[in-house]
Amino acid sequence: MNAIALARRVPPLRILLRPLALIWRQRTLLKRMVWREISSRYRESALGTVWAVVNPLLMLSIYTLVFGFIMKSRWPGQGENKLLFAITLFAGLIVNTLFAETVNRCTTVITENSNYVKKVVFPLEMLPLVVLGSAVFHAVVSLIILIVANVLVGTGLHWTMLLLPVVMGPILLTSAGLGWILASLGVFLRDASQVVGFLTALLMFLSPIFYPVTAFPESVRPLLFLNPLSLPVVQVRMVAIDGSWPHAHVIVYAYLIGLAVAAVGLWFFERTRRGFADVV
């Protein structure tokens, strides 16, 4: 029995899989809109989409200079490699950037595209996914740079790097769900973007991006993983830098939570979208 047939027989599973069904159903429209979003960002620049590669390279260079040579920072268990701390930091910031860019931009994505609101045939729920798709594109470029940098000056090439799409999946689902919720709230609460900007910065500093999980007392470490960024940050480092295999049951739990957040977000968006035309 395939997944679609199983979902039809099991109502809770069908609800959880609705976001994935939406993406599959609107995949052609999503691809076109994401590419238009990406190309419009660089349309006026001389280098065009080359900036998508140049920007993360510059950031990695800055991290290497500041943390590797000026501050001489070292990650526990990584020896005296001056460049490895910068790579480790860069890995965590890739996850944070994807999440923060998505949820921050989603707070204004409906008001910025108000011309779509009164077009009944246009699926407004695709707009947050377009924002997420653009963030995913830039994250993929950064992950490629991370892999190359780790091969050249880090811990080398690991087969576990093939699991990067797997460990990134839950944060994509969570970002989509929160994106739908914030896109809706941003229509009715115009200050949402200011609040969300502060909260994403707070989540960044409360996640193990600038420090390892072991920096926290063992008794409070479980609380650290209430932060949606913590687990993907740890797992990206595990598979890309440490060459470790993540625990299968942890990935399953992460996907279930991500699907639940995405399903709730889509449900909330669909219930509130009928009031958009009265506000926009």
Residue 4 resides in a domain? no
Residue 141 resides in a domain? yes
Q: Report DSSP letters for 54-84, one per residue.
A: HHHHHHHHHHIIIIIIIS----TTSTT-TTH
Domain that holds residue 117: 19-279
Mutual angle of helices 84-106 and 164-188, in 10-degree steps: 30
Q: What is the pLDDT along the chain (280 residues), one digit of tens a residue?
A: 455 554 555 456 777 888 998 999 999 999 999 999 888 887 766 666 777 788 888 888 887 787 767 777 677 776 667 788 888 989 999 999 999 999 999 999 999 888 888 766 788 999 999 999 999 999 999 999 999 999 988 888 999 999 999 999 999 999 999 999 999 999 998 888 899 999 999 999 899 988 888 888 888 888 889 999 999 999 999 999 999 999 999 999 999 999 999 999 999 999 998 888 777 7
Q: What is the DSSP letter of 242?
A: I
Long-range CB pairs of 200-205 (<8 Å, 24+ gap) are 200/99, 200/100, 200/103, 200/104, 201/100, 203/96, 203/99, 203/227, 203/228, 203/229, 204/96, 204/100, 204/229
Residue 80 resides in a domain? yes
Residue 216 resides in a domain? yes
User: Count of domains in the chain?
Assistant: 1
Residue tagged 């409360």 (tokens): 206
Residue 10 resides in a domain? no
Which tokens hold the place of 264? 């709730």
Residue 1 resides in a domain? no
Which amino acid, residue 176?
Answer: A
Residue 2 resides in a domain? no
